[in-house]
Amino acid sequence: MTTKYIYVMGAESGVGKSTVCLGILAQLLASGYKSEQLAYIKPVTQCIAKQAVATFCGQTNISYVDIGNLVFKSGFSRDFIDGLTKNSDELLSEVVASIHNIGKDKKVVIIDGIGDPAVGSVVGVSNADVALSLPCSVIFVGKPGIGAAIDNTVLCVSFMQNKGLKTLGIIYNKIPPSALADMKRYVTKRLPELLPDITLLGFISEDQVIDECCKDNVEVIARWFSSYIDRHTLLCDWLGIASHHDLS
């Protein structure tokens, strides 16, 4: 079985990566995938608080690891530089092995990154380093805005492309409802001129929040996510992983 890996990384911590992971998983379930065919992992982390996506995976019987084997605790960078931890190759090998392990016999694995694409570079295990070790597609979650959002996207995507990552899609999240129309208009017009090799997948407003009562309702979450990120465009056209499912 060929496993499809989707790596979600973002402009910064708190930009909405985990919500995008949750939305994709809900879309996949609503498209006909079975829980046992899917997996979610956050292999490297700083935050050990339980996220909504982990709760969703538990409720829907999707295999998940929300706190991976590499946790950047306070002082880890200093210890690494002082030679008190495993070296870069060992750390990266363990992270990639954890992803392969949860991906065994799965059709799709969602990988939730940590911070921006360069986070972890100090120890040789950045998001980009991990993604390059896998046959994966990358979704970059950008922050709201126009000028600053575009500037940050160009910076982060240029770094990823320079590292060698090719299949890149962009989703903007947590956009104030009053700014959604303008952001879509101007970003859609300007970003492809600056980054012609990326795919702009959509814009998510912050007005609709998945509350506690519907976290286990696959159809509700899938409809919410699909109202911003077209299911067919994401899964079939860009990822090429659901052409054999009914996506109507």
CATH code at position 206: 3.40.50.300
Q: Is residue 246 in some structural domain?
A: no
Give the mean model confidence (pLDDT) for residues 217-231: 91
- CA quadruple 102, 44, 27, 242: dihedral sign: negative
Q: What is the C-alpha separation between 83 and 229, in angstroms, rounded? A: 44
Give the mean model confidence (pLDDT) for residues 234-238: 91
* Chain centre distance of CA 178: 25
Cβ-based neighbour number of residue 67 at 10 Å:
17
Answer whether residue 248 shows pLDDT above 70: no
Pairing of strands 38-41, 63-65: parallel
CB 117 within 8 A of CB 140: yes
Q: Is residue 161 in some structural domain?
A: yes
Half-sphere exposure of 104 (CA within 13 A, CB side): 5
Q: Is residue 247 in some structural domain?
A: no
The pTM (predicted TM-score) of the whole model is 0.92
Half-sphere exposure of 50 (CA within 13 A, CB side): 7
Q: Is residue 218 in some structural domain?
A: yes
Q: Is residue 243 in some structural domain?
A: no
Token duo for residue 237: 């056209």
> Per-residue pLDDT tens for 5-52?
999 999 998 899 999 999 999 999 999 999 999 999 999 987 777 788
Q: Is residue 49 in some structural domain?
A: yes
Q: Among candidates 27, 16, 43, 46, which has minimal Cα distance to 219? A: 27
Domain that holds residue 219: 4-238
The total number of structural domains in the chain stands at 1
Q: Is residue 244 in some structural domain?
A: no
- The mean predicted confidence, pLDDT, of the chain is 91
Q: Is residue 245 in some structural domain?
A: no
> Per-residue pLDDT tens for 120-176?
999 999 999 999 999 999 999 999 999 999 999 999 999 999 999 988 999 999 999
